[in-house]
Amino acid sequence: MTAPTYEPVIGLEVHAELLTRSKIFCRCSAAFGGAPNTNVCPLCLGMPGVLPVLNRRVVEFAIRAGLATHCTIANRSRFARKNYFYPDLPKGYQISMYELPICVGGWLDVLTDGTSRRIGLTRIHMEEDTGKNIHDAHGDASLVDYNRSGVPLLEIVSEPDMRSVAEAGAYLRTLRSILQYLEICDGNMEEGSFRCDANVSIRPAGTTELGTKVEIKNMNSFRNVERAIAYEIDRQAEVLESGGKLVQETRLWDVDRSETRSMRSKEYAHDYRYFPEPDLLPLVVEPAWVDDIRGTMPELPGPRRERFEREYGLSPYDADVLTQRKDVADYFEAGIAAGATPKEMANWVMTELLRIVREEKLDRALVISDWPLTAAQLAGLAKLVQTGAINRNTAKGLIARLRGSGRDPAELVAAEGLTQVSDRGALDAAVADVIAKHPAQVAEVKAGKERVLGFLVGQVMKATGGKANPQMVQELLKTALR
Ligand SMILES: [Zn+2]
């Protein structure tokens, strides 16, 4: 008998911290960081007798997220108390939503290997974040910072519709991209403003019954989510293969040991004794307000990616890279508006600019405020290459010099005499000189060793201080050695 192959079944729960200025039920700042316990008041410290007041902006953000993911926006929803004890939750309960969430039943399309799949959303609800426990290095004391207590969260729950690690990764990236486009969450996983728990089970391929699911927590990067899910799929298959039984439980991803380990048996909803929050009225959302919000929705990443392919003739891959973040897509289009061709601008943004952005982590916030070059400067460089005024290498070398200078690339090139040498006479002389100086290599090229031609091109480039038009040099050499 051959071992059965297993099909993974994956559902994801995302917690997204919202970019409101104040917290969900009080006026304290919702900003990340700050000295511990400075953004707090009696309400978010859970003092008895205080009354929460719902932040209207949080509701607006939840509706935006729901509209962007094709959810039904509930006309009437309700907050609920989720009861449990933990030092970072001084009230002993978290205000969340339970049986009547604000958004239900949406979906989003995700791309893996060029194929689109539709992943269902179960619900989106609002809740308050908890404080943060800080365990000291010696392990003999735990501190609590309540700055995060009461920061607004959206919990976005998917259906168990994903069937591979790649699909789970694509779903998360797509969802984060949408929230960033809506400007409601900065999507920073390292700072915890975009967090993910995964429900993973497996079943024999071809069957439809769901297996025993395990929840994985504590994954703070896309890479860790993917690694943890892959590990868990393998672990579950091994347990079943060896005749064991899986238990429903919560497991923690241990980054250092690259494994999941059991944290506690899975809690069930009834363990939390949910009940309607008595301090808040049921939430009624007028359809007219939803229509107003619908009217202010931006073009979202999926439609924008398709437009980039259609309008600018970009490949699906390029269009995808350029539209994952709204600020990058805006930057690209600003360069087109400044006169660069789409192909050239795409090339410069993807190969040079985004590399610097990644290396220097300039994309930590929602919007990149210190681009290495302005879109107009990069478009200027692209245009100089398009027209043949400078070659690609000269242009690359100019990025560091233009950075922070505010200078116009054309002006810099003119001022420093960097214009590409395309003058036939000057190049002919340099080519003849190089041929005379390297008879051995010339003989090799003539004997059919094409790659030695590159060496001769390099010598001509060197002789012209890197300013020669490389295509022209190559043509001239080929003609001369034919
Ligand atoms: Zn407060």
Half-sphere CA count of 438, side-chain side, radius 13 A: 22
Give residue 270 CA to ligand 1 midpoint distance, Å.
Answer: 29
Quote the pLDDT of residue 153: 98
Over 50: is that where the pLDDT of 257 sits?
yes
Give the confidence band of 466 by pLDDT, cuts at 50, 70, 90.
confident
309-330 pLDDT per residue, tens? 999 999 999 999 999 999 999 9
Give residue 66 CA to ligand 1 midpoint distance, Å.
Answer: 27
Global confidence as pTM: 0.84
- Rounded to 5°, the CA angle 215-227-212 comes to 30
Most confident segment among 128-137, 229-238, 368-377 = 229-238
Give residue 42 CA to ligand 1 midpoint distance, Å.
Answer: 6
Give residue 176 CA to ligand 1 midpoint distance, Å.
Answer: 27
Over 60: is that where the pLDDT of 355 sits?
yes
Over 90: is that where the pLDDT of 417 sits?
no
178-201 pLDDT per residue, tens? 999 999 999 988 888 999 999 999
Give CA separation, 48 vs 28, 44, 52, 92, in Å.
18, 11, 11, 11
Give residue 153 CA to ligand 1 midpoint distance, Å.
Answer: 15
Mean pLDDT, residues 75-87 taken together:
95
Give residue 28 CA to ligand 1 midpoint distance, Å.
Answer: 4
Q: How far apart are CA 467 and CA 464, in angstroms?
A: 6
Instruction: From 78, 185, 87, 97, select the one nearest 144 (Cα to Cα).
Output: 87
Give residue 50 CA to ligand 1 midpoint distance, Å.
Answer: 10
Give residue 26 CA to ligand 1 midpoint distance, Å.
Answer: 5
Over 90: is that where the pLDDT of 72 sits?
yes
Give residue 32 CA to ligand 1 midpoint distance, Å.
Answer: 14
Give residue 178 CA to ligand 1 midpoint distance, Å.
Answer: 29
Give residue 24 CA to ligand 1 midpoint distance, Å.
Answer: 9
103-140 pLDDT per residue, tens? 999 999 998 887 889 999 999 999 999 999 888 767 77
Instruction: State which amino acid sits at residue 121.
Output: L
131-164 pLDDT per residue, tens? 998 887 677 788 999 999 999 999 999 999 999 9
Give residue 22 CA to ligand 1 midpoint distance, Å.
Answer: 8
Give the confidence band of 480 by pLDDT, cuts at 50, 70, 90.
confident
Give residue 205 CA to ligand 1 midpoint distance, Å.
Answer: 50
Instruction: From 285, 292, 273, 267, select the one nearest 78 (Cα to Cα).
Output: 285
Give residue 272 CA to ligand 1 midpoint distance, Å.
Answer: 24
Q: Which range among 4-8, 108-112, 255-259, 469-473 shows the weakest confidence by mean pLDDT?
A: 469-473
Give residue 44 CA to ligand 1 midpoint distance, Å.
Answer: 4
Share of the chain above pLDDT 90, in %: 63
The contacts of residue 416 (CB under 8 Å, 6+ apart) are none
- Average model confidence (pLDDT) across the chain: 91
Concatenated DSSP letters of 228-262: HHHHHHHHHHHHHHTT-----EEEEEETTTTEEEE
Give residue 363 CA to ligand 1 midpoint distance, Å.
Answer: 29
Over 90: is that where the pLDDT of 404 sits?
no
Give residue 45 CA to ligand 1 midpoint distance, Å.
Answer: 7
Q: Which residues pair with 409 in a beta bridge?
A: none
Give residue 154 CA to ligand 1 midpoint distance, Å.
Answer: 18
Give residue 150 CA to ligand 1 midpoint distance, Å.
Answer: 7
- In 294-342, which ranges are E strands? none
Give residue 369 CA to ligand 1 midpoint distance, Å.
Answer: 29
Give residue 397 CA to ligand 1 midpoint distance, Å.
Answer: 51
User: Phi, psi at residue 85, to the nearest 5°?
Assistant: -105, 135
Quote the pLDDT of residue 422: 66
Give residue 17 CA to ligand 1 midpoint distance, Å.
Answer: 16
Mean pLDDT, residues 163-182 taken together:
96
207-221 pLDDT per residue, tens? 999 999 999 987 888
Q: At what angle do helices 316-323 and 326-337 cross, to 10 degrees?
A: 110
Give residue 29 CA to ligand 1 midpoint distance, Å.
Answer: 8
Quote the pLDDT of residue 2: 54
Give residue 123 CA to ligand 1 midpoint distance, Å.
Answer: 27
Give residue 155 CA to ligand 1 midpoint distance, Å.
Answer: 21
Quote the pLDDT of residue 3: 58
Give residue 60 CA to ligand 1 midpoint distance, Å.
Answer: 20
Give residue 72 CA to ligand 1 midpoint distance, Å.
Answer: 31
Give residue 25 CA to ligand 1 midpoint distance, Å.
Answer: 7
Mean pLDDT, residues 361-381 taken together:
89
Give residue 125 CA to ligand 1 midpoint distance, Å.
Answer: 21
Share of the chain above pLDDT 70, in %: 97
- In 247-303, which ranges are E strands? 249-254, 259-265, 275-276, 283-284
Higher pLDDT, 383 or 470: 383
Instruction: From 320, 280, 341, select the one nearest 116 (Cα to Cα).
Output: 320
Give residue 354 CA to ligand 1 midpoint distance, Å.
Answer: 39
Give residue 41 CA to ligand 1 midpoint distance, Å.
Answer: 4
Kind and range of the H or E run holding 462: helix 452-463
Quote the pLDDT of residue 266: 66
Mean pLDDT, residues 335-359 taken together:
94
Give residue 146 CA to ligand 1 midpoint distance, Å.
Answer: 9
Quote the pLDDT of residue 1: 46
Give residue 10 CA to ligand 1 midpoint distance, Å.
Answer: 36
Give residue 74 CA to ligand 1 midpoint distance, Å.
Answer: 28
Torsion sign, CA atoms 177, 181, 187, 188:
positive
